Structure 1
Amino acid sequence: MAEAHQAVAFQFTITPEGIDLQLSRQALGQIYRSGLRCWKKRLSRMKNRVLKGVYPASPSSWLFVVIVILATMYTQSDPSMGLITKIQEHLPLSLSLTLSAQGQTMVSALLFSTLLWLSLILALRFCLKVLLSYHRWMFEQHGRISTITKVWVSLVRLLSSRTPLLYSYQTSLPHLPVPAIRDTLERFLESVRPLQSPADFERVSRLAADFERTLGNRLQRYLKLKALWATNYVSDWWEEYVYLRGRSPIMVNSNYYGMDFLYVTPTSNQAARAGNTITALLLYRRKVNREELKPSRIPGTVIPLCAAQCERMFNTTRAPGEETDVLQHWQDSEFVAVYHRGRYYRLWVYRAGRLLSPREIQYQIQKILDDPSPPQAGEEKLGALTAGNRTPWARVRKQYFSSGVNKRSLDCIEKAAFFVSLDEQEEGMKGDDPEGNLDCYAKALLHGKCYDRWFDKSFSVVVFKNGKTGLNAEHSWADAPTVAHLWEFTLATDAFQLGYDIDGNCRGEVEHSLPPPQRLTWDIPPEVQAQVSESLAVAQALADDVDCHVFPFMEFGKGRMKKLKISPDAFIQLSLQLAYYRDRGGFCLTYEASMTRLFREGRTETVRSCSSESCAFVLALEEEECCSLFRKAAEKHQNLYRLAMTGSGIDRHLFCLYVVSKYLGVDSPFLKEVLSEPWRLSTSQTPVQQMELFDLVNHPEFISLGGGFGPVADDGYGVSYIIVGENMVNFHVSCKHSCKETVSERIFTQVLKMDKENPVKQMTQKGCTWSFVY
């Protein structure tokens, strides 16, 4: 076999004349090219470390400083005010003996110039950090920018004039501040006032006052100490206690999904779509490794966002533990793991340091699709272990997957760049029931068959039989905007750059001598098979209980909302408050995710969207007296969102105080009650971050569907939405069949969906006419 022959670089035999070497030129050439690629990557990383280490200055600025110092010395001036002479006096004796007096002066001047240059870099970085700590610009009204903010923008632009690498801003981002405990408690009481009766609110107010007076300040001191020591006082505890210590299934409960284009499928050839998608993902990884991606920014501004979540995007898996899981990340991986019809494969995507062409990857994928071999005993549903409860999976992994053939095969999956699932189903908006098929599409991505995804991987790409794609992402390593950025790039690169030929195949040539994908082998004993069945039963019950509904709303979108001078996000959140009220007859604690990536290693904060102002608006709408209340509620929501983004949220602070109390072994009735409150309405917006990749004017059919997640509460809704262009909003709603009071489709089709005969309800109050979804 060709691949077996090339597996060794040389052979040798013992002859009477000595050792006879039989060298394989092709194999040695591959070793050379592979090693060359590794060294190029090492040199690239070293170069990037230097470039981002001196940002916002440049390495060439060192030469400028040296020339200025030497030129000043040439004019018989001492710019160092005696420091160069001091350095010369303390040069090593061996150096002093070998250099002339002029040479010693030159070396001292170079050392002084270098120290001065480093000091200037630190000063510039400190100035940039101070500038990025200014957040009052977020609270200013549109079109009424203060002079201070204008000067601030100019200074930020000046210090950011050099083209940054992906991680250039990391050391200049401010640390997340710890809010004053009194401010947090006041905002908390304000958020729960519309949800509680007067008696309950009075009781919670007393608990909050007692907490502040007794235990609160003690816990706050520990938290401030951590904030001084750690980069981010929230993120590590959030990752560990909210995600990694969870013992319930991560499928549905934690993982989320992203969808393909709504109307367009670039090719119906499954292998071809997989080839382009895998190539696009690996091109994105190359940009991440080389730090060629532009740092994400607040839309329309020069303000950078933290890029730390990109570091663990690829070559990462969540390894189960009996008490807590562990995120494992490898520096690099030259293969992906593929699942098809119950079989697992390792697919090498590099050949002698060269990334395979999309056509070659398609060729390899087609070999997997054409493989007629059946699954091994216990192999087909092995992925159910990652879909069930975490502790049983951890025990089985430790006992049966820590050595031998099982460990080697498991390592191939866990160390892969990412996971690829080739589904035998056809999904998308198709057939006689496009809406119903979209719902099935969402469920296929959220949980599939409960065993045909590897839910522990950082993300799993799913390619369906008709060429439709999507992904399922594990949540602990990053939040949805990071994965959405990756998926936007993948879809755009697949459709607009890589493309397909007239027959729907990938472009490029094929080297037919490529070794075939490697089939992974397993030794699954009856005990493991029994646990697989048990985990599958748990996962299947969870999947069957999920009710998903995908709702593309196309009556109007961001364009009309902005004409009303209302934040589109606030408009949608108030719509959701109205929807929930009409659906359930009351209000509930509402979770909206807001990023805190203005700060280093920031993740999310909660916007408590249900406020006194939003409740007043909804109640007034039933009486058709709501225009001014609507604007007041929208302004309140925007202010809550800004507070969350700038580190003045409620829930992460209270969460960290609770963690400190557990470490100290003390109980707080107030914190226990706050953190046990269910989020019956959990919402999240998936923003489109790279609009320049999509031409929705000339190609409006390339509309992204966004993605969604499972319900947070058993008796609540999970709502994800993406604002696409000016005239469309895509909603993803989930709830549970086991709760008779929640129906995912009803919340829109019966509450927010427009009446066909009266699509726009006009409301007039004090001369203000505006449109609202009825």
Structure 2
Amino acid sequence: MEADNVPCGEPISEMAEAHQAVAFQFTITPEGIDLQLSHEALRQVYLSGLRSWKKRFIRLKNSVITGVYPASPSSWLFVVIAILATMYTRSDPSMGLIAKIQEHLPVSQSLSAQCQTVVSAVLFSTLLWLSLIFTMRLCLKQLLSYHRWMFEQHGKMSNTTKVWVALVRIFSGRQPLLYSYQGSLPNLPVPAVKDTIKRYLESVRPLMTESEFERMSKLAIEFEGSLGNRLQWYLKLKALWSANYVSDWWEEYIYLRGRSPIMVNSNYYGMDFLYVTPTPIQAARAGNTIHAFLLYRRKLNREELKPSRVPGTVIPLCAAQCERMFNTTRIPGEETDTVQHWQDSDYVAVYHRGRYFRLWVYKSGRMLTPREIELQIQKILEDPSPPLSGEDKLGALTAGDRVPWAKVRKQFFSTGVNKRSLDCIERAAFFVTLDDDEQGMMGDDPAASLDRYAKSLLHGKCYDRWFDKSFSAVVYKNGKNGLNAEHSWADAPVVAHLWEFVLATDSFQLGYDEEGHCKGNVDPKLPQPQRLSWDIPPECEEVVSQSLAVAQALADDVDFHVFSFRDFGKGKIKKCRISPDAFIQLALQLAYYRDRGLFCLTYEASMTRLFREGRTETVRSCTNESCAFVKALESGEEEDLCVRLLRLATDKHQNLYRMAMTGAGIDRHLFCLYVVSKYLGLESPFLKEVLSEPWRLSTSQTPVQQVELFDLVNHPEYISCGGGFGPVADDGYGVSYIIVGENMINFHISCKYSCAQTDSHRYGAQIRQALLDLLRLGEPGRTGNTQAKKDL
């Protein structure tokens, strides 16, 4: 009879184990209540609580250390001893303040005169110490507001900047924690309206005819002279009140209020090593990967990660985006989504062949070893139970439009077993997909296999990822892995930092035995992975099918091409005395012109993490200078002229990138002005037109941030292929690239099959040729380059 009550598809053994895990059971008998305690369950409750309290203590300790940075808590004792020692020499370092404090002590009558003096001295020392901390943080904040160093010529540092670097080192203290600099980072400045409009008009000049530009100029001047100043006043008020005048509106209106699918349109992916698969065993790769993620989370919780800095400098970057990396889910809403973060989670959610599992990753207060996780994953892989009715394609709800998902979540997942299972997925540390496909560079056509690999990570089967999770790790049947990340909570460099750590830890620290299995001891009493139960009614299944149809149509339309450019890398580009990023961006402009026969508005993502809670700014890579160079080269102008225009174009791009990083960008300011106008119920023809312009070429560089984790000299095969994203415009391209080592650049190109004018492979071929043509022009020894060196 009891077996009849077991939910379909859930093994009876798991139900028995679930009963054993209950801390106590009781039954009512004629003799009274029969109470049975489970000592093992109570022990697990105790150990779990102990782990939780340890984490709270670590957070409290770190908050104290971060709160007094750049001083240290021990410096308080030094100040107290110094003041007391000075007083015992019969001098008053407080100039009478200690005596004043002593007069107003509320407990002065119950203390001796000597105790009163000591207590007053300690209070004065504490106030002096806090004043010194405030002064040091203010000085550090002012120092970090200095950005002229970024505009100086490489290798020629001014005396002012040298003094500034020394002062930053002095005021930065020693051994900072991850969030130590947060209180000292400057706020993002609000540019002047006239400066933003001037830069905007300059950016669109090469894309408009004379009449179009004249009309836009009139709109801009009218906006500047009337509505612009009024909107600017509200922005300045917000900048004074909030940590960052852009970031919260950017997250809300660009990401969370979007009602279209986040799969392809918003989420992005990261790839495994290009040439190496550390083990062909799926469960083993999953074991090391999950364990490496948990090690990173532990470092994150303890703030043991080093603060990110501008490469090659002592300048810190904002770490606020790291806070929601784990235990985070995007929750759908009918009008706007929300990002929900939980303080802790001791399990991960796993998907395999249409079934969902809860996999505990801690036992008795300790993290499971990679080998233990591997064995647990193997149990999931070997579980023969079929999916429950409506379970297998449930993840499609997160891949389709947001409004149907929000409505069906409220209707069918707010109570009962569905709510418990959905809560389990959403509260998990992260999501794991055990994919039955084999991916990576393989087979007779490695180029095509990379394209399939990219599409699989970007959208999979449209139902085998949980696209709402902060990130989903994907482990394939042949041991290859990757991840898919939701975009609203953080930008790609933050996730890339995590992914670099995971790949390096997996291969170089955890490793595998000779048979390809994970290392580590195994506890034979580990609880079984818990199968999640669902009760999906036909009405809900219908919505799932509709969401899947929307998502599948979107996924089928994505044309993706991934390739490695090995002819040269940043080594040769630097010998040309050109910024590698500016070089590649100019190559993208040349390739697009050759591909489409025209120029387009181009988006390049630049970070603004020099400022508190900074995220991104747009670098408008299509400039007057880049267009002049491309036209000169394509029309067969003299080589000397082309070389000079090449220099002007790359210098212009580098300057725009620096301006974007230092808060002098165009697009975030205009975006916020537009949001204010909507709040005030005011219409601006200028802002409306600016915000509706399509980005037909959207580009981004994936930075390699932790070079010390990879030995690319002795182990060049351990190279990540980077990651990519879907096209932003229906008739445009999305291009992501990663500069790996000195001799390789990996490109990820996306567009849509439904647009007859775009083709990812054709554009990829144009990029290859454009890079070669630019190197030929930029090589040392060319006439124009020789003259440029003389000018320098």
Q: Map of 1:718-737 to 2, 5 A cutoff? A: 718-737=734-753
CA distance in 2, matches of 1:421, 1:11: 35
> For residue 509 of structure 1, what is the aligned residue in structure 2?
521
CA drift at 1:599: 0.3
> For residue 59 of structure 1, what is the aligned residue in structure 2?
73
> For residue 719 of structure 2, what is the aligned residue in structure 1?
703
1:636-659 Cα shifts (integer Å, max 9, x gaps): 000000000000000000000000
> For residue 89 of structure 2, what is the aligned residue in structure 1?
75
Structure 1 regions of 5+ residues with no counterpart?
none
CA distance in 2, matches of 1:186, 1:12: 76
Q: Which of 41, 45, 49 in structure 2 is aligned with 1:27?
A: 41
Q: Describe the shift of the 1:591–1:44 C-alpha distance in structure 2 as closer, same or farther (beyond 3 A).
A: same
Q: Describe the shift of the 1:643–1:757 C-alpha distance in structure 2 as closer, same or farther (beyond 3 A).
A: closer
> For residue 178 of structure 1, what is the aligned residue in structure 2?
190
> For residue 440 of structure 1, what is the aligned residue in structure 2?
452
CA drift at 1:77: 1.0
Contact 2:269 2:485 survives alignment (8 Å): yes
1:692-728 Cα shifts (integer Å, max 9, x gaps): 0000000000011000000000110000000000000
> For residue 743 of structure 1, what is the aligned residue in structure 2?
759
Q: Describe the shift of the 1:4–1:530 C-alpha distance in structure 2 as closer, same or farther (beyond 3 A).
A: closer
CA distance in 2, matches of 1:612, 1:349: 55
Q: Describe the shift of the 1:141–1:755 C-alpha distance in structure 2 as closer, same or farther (beyond 3 A).
A: closer
CA distance in 1, matches of 2:769, 2:446: 17
Q: Which of 215, 224, 243 in structure 1 is aligned with 2:227?
A: 215
- DSSP-derived class of the 1:420 partner: strand
Answer yes or no: is 1:676 the counterpart of 2:653: no
Answer yes or no: is 1:163 the counterpart of 2:175: yes
CA drift at 1:160: 1.6
Contact 1:754 1:760 survives alignment (8 Å): no
CA distance in 1, matches of 2:353, 2:342: 28
> For residue 566 of structure 1, what is the aligned residue in structure 2?
578
1:148-204 Cα shifts (integer Å, max 9, x gaps): 110000000111231000000001000000000000000001101111111111111
Q: Which amino acid aligns with 1:147?
A: N
> For residue 142 of structure 2, what is the aligned residue in structure 1?
130
**C-alpha RMSD of matched pairs (Å):** 2.0
Structure 2 regions of 5+ residues with no counterpart?
1-12, 788-792
- DSSP-derived class of the 2:462 partner: coil
Answer yes or no: is 1:201 the counterpart of 2:213: yes
Q: Which of 69, 81, 104 in structure 2 is aligned with 1:90?
A: 104
> For residue 326 of structure 1, what is the aligned residue in structure 2?
338
Q: Which of 232, 257, 275 in structure 1 is aligned with 2:287?
A: 275
> For residue 436 of structure 2, what is the aligned residue in structure 1?
424
Q: Which amino acid aligns with 1:485?
A: H
Q: Which amino acid aligns with 1:407?
A: K
> For residue 768 of structure 1, what is the aligned residue in structure 2?
785
Q: Describe the shift of the 1:533–1:91 C-alpha distance in structure 2 as closer, same or farther (beyond 3 A).
A: same
> For residue 3 of structure 1, what is the aligned residue in structure 2?
17
TM-score of the superposed pair, with normalisation by structure 2: 0.95
> For residue 374 of structure 1, what is the aligned residue in structure 2?
386
Q: Map of 1:286-365 to 2, 5 A cutoff? A: 286-365=298-377
Q: Map of 1:631-670 to 2, 5 A cutoff? A: 631-670=647-686
Q: Which of 691, 709, 713 in structure 2 is aligned with 1:693?
A: 709
- DSSP-derived class of the 1:768 partner: helix
Answer yes or no: is 1:143 the counterpart of 2:155: yes
CA distance in 2, matches of 1:369, 1:260: 21
1:68-106 Cα shifts (integer Å, max 9, x gaps): 1111111111111111111111111xx222211111111
> For residue 62 of structure 2, what is the aligned residue in structure 1?
48
CA drift at 1:14: 9.8
Q: Which amino acid aligns with 2:682?
A: V
Which stretch of structure 1 is more off in the superposition, 74-83 or 405-414? 74-83
CA distance in 2, matches of 1:614, 1:740: 26
CA drift at 1:142: 1.1
Contact 1:582 1:751 survives alignment (8 Å): no
CA distance in 2, matches of 1:721, 1:562: 17
Q: Which amino acid aligns with 1:695?
A: D
- DSSP-derived class of the 1:124 partner: helix
Contact 2:644 2:784 survives alignment (8 Å): no
Q: Which amino acid aligns with 2:747?
A: F
1:386-428 Cα shifts (integer Å, max 9, x gaps): 1000001100000110000100000000000000001010000
Q: Map of 1:222-301 to 2, 5 A cutoff? A: 222-301=234-313
1:664-717 Cα shifts (integer Å, max 9, x gaps): 001000000101000000000000000000000000000110000000001100
Q: Describe the shift of the 1:5–1:219 C-alpha distance in structure 2 as closer, same or farther (beyond 3 A).
A: closer
> For residue 522 of structure 1, what is the aligned residue in structure 2?
534
Q: Which amino acid aligns with 1:273?
A: R
Q: Describe the shift of the 1:649–1:399 C-alpha distance in structure 2 as closer, same or farther (beyond 3 A).
A: same
Q: Describe the shift of the 1:555–1:79 C-alpha distance in structure 2 as closer, same or farther (beyond 3 A).
A: same
TM-score of the superposed pair, with normalisation by structure 1: 0.97
Q: Describe the shift of the 1:205–1:5 C-alpha distance in structure 2 as closer, same or farther (beyond 3 A).
A: closer
CA drift at 1:8: 3.5
CA drift at 1:621: 1.6
1:341-373 Cα shifts (integer Å, max 9, x gaps): 111111111112111111111101111100111
Aligned length: 768
CA drift at 1:557: 0.1
Q: Which of 725, 731, 734 in structure 2 is aligned with 1:715?
A: 731
- DSSP-derived class of the 2:519 partner: coil
- DSSP-derived class of the 2:703 partner: coil
CA drift at 1:750: 4.2
- DSSP-derived class of the 1:745 partner: helix
Which stretch of structure 1 is more off in the superposition, 223-232 or 11-20? 11-20
> For residue 112 of structure 1, what is the aligned residue in structure 2?
124
Q: Describe the shift of the 1:475–1:19 C-alpha distance in structure 2 as closer, same or farther (beyond 3 A).
A: closer
CA distance in 2, matches of 1:556, 1:414: 44
CA distance in 2, matches of 1:192, 1:215: 21
1:276-311 Cα shifts (integer Å, max 9, x gaps): 000000100001101000000000000000000000
CA distance in 1, matches of 2:773, 2:207: 35
CA distance in 2, matches of 1:532, 1:195: 43
Q: Which amino acid aligns with 1:62?
A: W
1:545-583 Cα shifts (integer Å, max 9, x gaps): 100000110110000001111100000000000000000
Contact 2:728 2:734 survives alignment (8 Å): yes
Contact 2:594 2:766 survives alignment (8 Å): no
Contact 1:762 1:769 survives alignment (8 Å): no
CA drift at 1:36: 1.7
> For residue 407 of structure 1, what is the aligned residue in structure 2?
419
CA drift at 1:146: 1.0
Contact 2:376 2:528 survives alignment (8 Å): yes
CA distance in 1, matches of 2:383, 2:322: 35
Contact 1:583 1:751 survives alignment (8 Å): no
1:91-147 Cα shifts (integer Å, max 9, x gaps): 11xx22221111111110110000000010000000000000000100000122111
> For residue 596 of structure 1, what is the aligned residue in structure 2?
608
CA distance in 1, matches of 2:53, 2:232: 48
1:450-481 Cα shifts (integer Å, max 9, x gaps): 00010000000000000000000000000000
Q: Which amino acid aligns with 2:650?
A: A
- DSSP-derived class of the 2:226 partner: helix
Q: Which amino acid aligns with 2:606?
A: S
